[in-house]
């Protein structure tokens, strides 16, 4: 990949002048490429090291998007005016039927296009007025804001990148792919870390896990999380924890690992805060490792963590996947916090399992170092 060139003042002025020419016309449907196709081109331009082209394409996508949404809004308003349509009231379902009966192909086509990503009963509560209000907000284009933020981040313009990321976050309900909000929160957290702003990093990581009911909040952990921690701290070994608990929120794994690093490594071993994210990171990692093993081997049955590690040792392509996704690191994190909170016995159980059975040599070395270390 060609390296991204340095940021040039003249480049920004050129981009702004070009963008002024892209004001959308709302009276007619846009012609040419779809907005998402233009964004794909912008992403490719960024990958090729052409940030100027990427920004111009982002603005083109915004213009096409706003033109399309404005056209939809205008056409639907006209189609909702006839008395026969008004008699259907605010029910989107009834209005849709009347439009079909009237052979209003334009309005029906617009509604069908909207319903591809927004089921009418779920997104609009079967309400015409709510649909129109949504279209007013839909003029915003968070996908374009996300990509614009990436361009400025690549150029080292972190303040501008944050501005666009935060705007995209404010409009996250408009994302066609809702899970992109997780990607967005991670981008903001990673950028905050690179910018030396740990407080903001913590805030953005909490955005990732805010919808995870198993976490709860710091100091007010969920009952199931409290039970996990209690099991770890009171049982002679963590074996019961590894057998009993599962959590499938794999997208939150990085957030829990990063929060552990923030509390334990970067903030002077704040054990009271580090325990919860380390516990959930380990639980998610166990769950994920077992799930992938079962998908790959119909005869696989989980009998314990050492055997699970041995299984991955016999499947190097999958052990490489686990290393690349930092799943083994979760157990090192939990061992570290257990050592400092409940003593060495539980920590040494994890270290021994990793040292004797983990297929990742770097993790094995870290586990052996843990075994040989003395409690500080």
Band of pLDDT at residue 9, cut at 50, 70 and 90: very low
Q: What is the pLDDT of residue 23?
A: 42
Q: pLDDT tens, 332-352?
A: 999 999 999 876 899 999 999
Looking at the fold, whether 106 and 254 belong to one and the same domain comes out as: no
Domain end call among 176, 196, 226: 176
Residue 127 β-bridge partners = 91
Q: What is the pLDDT of residue 29?
A: 56
Looking at the fold, whether 301 and 364 belong to one and the same domain comes out as: yes
Q: pLDDT tens, 18-42?
A: 443 444 433 455 555 789 999 999 9
Q: pLDDT tens, 181-223?
A: 999 999 999 999 999 888 899 999 999 998 899 998 888 899 9
Domain end call among 176, 198, 224: 176
Looking at the fold, whether 33 and 123 belong to one and the same domain comes out as: yes
Looking at the fold, whether 225 and 354 belong to one and the same domain comes out as: yes
Looking at the fold, whether 134 and 263 belong to one and the same domain comes out as: no
pTM: 0.84
Looking at the fold, whether 171 and 309 belong to one and the same domain comes out as: no
Q: pLDDT tens, 77-87?
A: 999 999 999 99
237: left (phi over 0), alpha (psi -120 to 50) or beta: beta
| Count of CA atoms in the C-beta half-sphere (13 A) of 258 | 26
Residue 220 β-bridge partners = 217
Looking at the fold, whether 26 and 171 belong to one and the same domain comes out as: yes
Residue 91 β-bridge partners = 127
CA distance 91 to 62: 31
Looking at the fold, whether 31 and 167 belong to one and the same domain comes out as: yes
Range(s) of the domain holding residue 257: 216-372
Q: What is the pLDDT of residue 374?
A: 57
Looking at the fold, whether 130 and 55 belong to one and the same domain comes out as: yes
Return the minimum-mean-pLDDT range out of 114-123, 250-259, 271-280. 114-123
Q: For all residues of the chain together, what is the average pLDDT?
A: 90
Residue 306, helix vs strand vs coil: helix
pLDDT at 46 over 70: yes
Q: pLDDT tens, 291-314?
A: 999 999 999 999 999 999 999 999
pLDDT at 4 over 60: no
Q: What is the pLDDT of residue 31?
A: 59
Q: Which helix (H) or strand (E) holds 87?
A: none
Count of domains observed in the chain: 2
Q: What is the pLDDT of residue 115?
A: 93
Looking at the fold, whether 94 and 220 belong to one and the same domain comes out as: no
């Amino acid at each position: 990949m060609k390296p991204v060139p340095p940021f040039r003042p003249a480049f920004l002025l050129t981009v702004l002048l070009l963008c002024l020419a892209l004001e959308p016309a709302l009276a007619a449907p846009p012609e040419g490429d779809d907005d998402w196709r233009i964004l794909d081109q912008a992403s490719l331009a960024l990958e090729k090291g052409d940030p100027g082209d990427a920004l111009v394409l982002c603005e083109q996508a915004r213009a096409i998007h706003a033109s399309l949404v404005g056209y939809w809004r205008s056409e639907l308003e006209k189609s909702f005016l006839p008395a026969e349509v008004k008699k259907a009231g605010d029910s989107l379902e009834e209005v849709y039927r009347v439009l079909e009966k009237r052979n209003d192909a334009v309005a029906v086509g617009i509604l069908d296009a909207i319903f591809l990503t927004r089921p009418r009963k779920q997104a609009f509560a079967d309400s015409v007025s709510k649909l129109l209000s949504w279209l007013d907000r839909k003029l915003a284009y968070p996908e374009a804001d996300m990509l614009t933020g990436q361009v400025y981040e690549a150029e080292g313009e972190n303040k501008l990148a944050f501005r666009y990321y935060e705007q995209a976050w404010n409009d996250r309900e408009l994302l066609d792919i809702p899970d992109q909000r997780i990607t967005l929160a991670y981008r903001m957290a990673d950028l905050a870390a690179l910018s030396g702003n740990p407080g903001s990093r913590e805030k953005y990581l909490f955005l990732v896990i805010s919808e995870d009911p198993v976490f709860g909040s710091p100091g007010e952990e969920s009952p199931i999380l409290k039970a996990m921690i209690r099991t770890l701290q009171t049982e002679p070994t963590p074996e019961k924890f590894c057998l009993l608990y599962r959590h499938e929120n794999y997208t939150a794994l990085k957030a829990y690992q990063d929060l552990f690093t923030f509390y334990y490594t970067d903030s002077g071993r704040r054990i009271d805060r580090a325990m919860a994210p380390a516990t959930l990171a380990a639980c998610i990692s166990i769950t994920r490792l077992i799930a992938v093993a079962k998908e790959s081997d119909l005869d696989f049955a989980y009998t314990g963590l050492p055997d699970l590690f041995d299984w991955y040792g016999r499947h190097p392509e999958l052990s490489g996947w686990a290393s690349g996704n930092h799943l083994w690191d979760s157990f090192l994190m939990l061992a570290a916090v257990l050592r400092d909170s409940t003593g060495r016995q539980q920590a040494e159980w994890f270290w021994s399992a990793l040292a004797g059975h983990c297929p990742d040599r770097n993790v094995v070395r870290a586990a052996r170092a843990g075994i040989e270390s003395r409690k500080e």
